[in-house]
Homo-oligomer: A and B are copies of this chain.
Amino acid sequence: MAFPVQKSYSTEMSAKKSTPPRNEIEKLTERLREVTYLGTAIAVLQWDQEVTMPKKGADARAHTISLLAGLVHNKFLEVDHDGLLSGLKKKLDGGKLSPAEATVVRETWRSFSRERKLPETFVKEMAKLTSKSQNVWTEAREENNFAKFAPYLEQVVEKKREEAKLIGYADSPYDALLDTYEPGMTTSEIERIFGDLKTFLVPFLARIQKVSNNKLPHVIAKSAHFPIEKQIELSKQVAESMGYDLDAGRIDVSAHPFTTSFHPNDVRITTRYNPKDVLESIFPTMHEGGHALYEQGLPHEHFGTPLADATSLGIHESQSRLWENMVGKSLSFWKHWYPKLQKEFPGVFTAPLADFYASVNIVKPTLIRVEADEVTYNLHIIIRFELEKALIEGTIAVKDLPKLWSERYKEYLGITPKSDKEGVLQDVHWSTGYIGYFPTYTLGNLYSAQFWNTAKKQIPDLPKKIGKGDLKTLREWLRKHIHQHGKSYSAEDLALKITGEKLNPDYFSRYLEEKYTNIYKL
């Protein structure tokens, strides 16, 4: 790192006040920081929209977000108004920058090259459309009414196709969208990885189902009741034990659990509470908590620059899945936490730990992605990827989605949704324009297994530590190897640096095989 990292953020800012920027990098940093602070306003407005906004506020909100999106877009393009960025890009190409400076310029240039291809009107229209269509989706899902949502989804797909065209692509328009979330990844590479994965998963799932479909015990009685206040308290305890700083974050409720960050000092997560099942709040908390640790662990002193930005959504998802699955669904974790559950909810958890552990790892095809187990989860993603890719490539139409959805679910998972609510309407992503996003979930699963494999080698007695309630050693390892680097390394290079290999999906299949062979005595 060429930048000083020992200084606290506020010291640095107050020092900035009196001293003018010493060099071009500092000047660029200052401009980027302004853009980021403004972008924060949009993030706060969106958080509010999801968590607190009264329903009639939606129209006005869409206008405000749209205006801000236009302003942020313009302000970002202004970083180069006097050729500052272009000049630095030349220095980068000439090899004249330190590694940290190179990261700032390379990654800013990447976003800039993309962003300047989008006209302001396009950005504003997209923001308004997706803000609106998200509200329509919420209603349509509640009403189980795909026809209500379809015209908006058609507009979103049309706009995303336009976006791909504006940005440009070599093979598929889907490449242009995927690249926003997973820089450097291509559609054909995803197809190859997902193809291999499907080849492993489908027979593996069949093996499990053959051995013991439904044989594992459900340990929570149908009559059990979990008071919400107790669940809230427990979610906080779990998140804090992971190292999530609640003075720099908060846990709320939303329809779809999510994480958002306004600054490493204000990173918020949401979960949901089902009075019939406390696990339905614990796992989302751990998942979002994993995202939040990444955001809280980004270097404060580089806030606003690519040095303090997550490297890719795949890596981001690796953090959430690692905490949710490798940790949260492990026997070690529950060695420490199961007795707490038993104490907190007396009379509910009477099964022995081994049965409880098996029950949180039941493999069974279900219709809802976010409730899926580790084995079937990626099949949900593969279906979404195949459909959204086809939408963007124009080979299928929005109106045919419900039918195609059912067919794929039948084919890959052997089940069919009875309604669109538990089918094509279940996810928020398409309504918000997040097309090209789903594959990063599976990439996250693959990376998480690969990182987990290395973490277990490098941290002595990791499962034992987790079994004693020590989650912070793992958090420190992740912070050291992943969080603090921001975009210093691409996803690919980060995997190489940490594990000695580029992305290797075998770690994930081996992880599944080992875990489920054990649980299901395959």
Contact = CB atoms under 8 A, between A and B. Distances in A.
Interface string A33-46: 01001101100110
Nearest to A246: B54
Interface of chain A, main secondary structure? helix
Contacts of A52: 52, 250, 252
Interface in A194-251: 245-250
A248 B59 contact: no
A249 B47 CA distance: 16
Contacts of A262: 57, 60-61, 64
Interface string A61-100: 1011001100100000000000000000000000000000
A56 B245 contact: yes
A258 B378 CA distance: 48
Interface string A306-347: 000000000000000000000000000000000000000000
Contacts of A41: 41, 45, 64, 68
Nearest to A43: B64
Contacts of A303: 60
A374 to B, nearest CB: 32
Contacts of A245: 56
A263 B40 contact: no
B9 A56 contact: no
Contacts of A59: 9-10, 13, 263, 265
Contacts of A154: none
A60 B250 contact: no
A420 B63 CA distance: 44
Nearest to A47: B48
Contacts of A266: 53-54, 56-57, 60-61
Interface in A3-50: 9-10, 13, 34, 37-38, 40-41, 44-45, 47-48
Given A37-B64, A48-B48, A64-B38, A57 B263 contact: yes
A292 B101 CA distance: 51
Interface of A: 9-10, 13, 34, 37-38, 40-41, 44-45, 47-48, 52-57, 59-61, 63-64, 67-68, 71, 245-250, 252, 262-263, 265-266, 268, 303
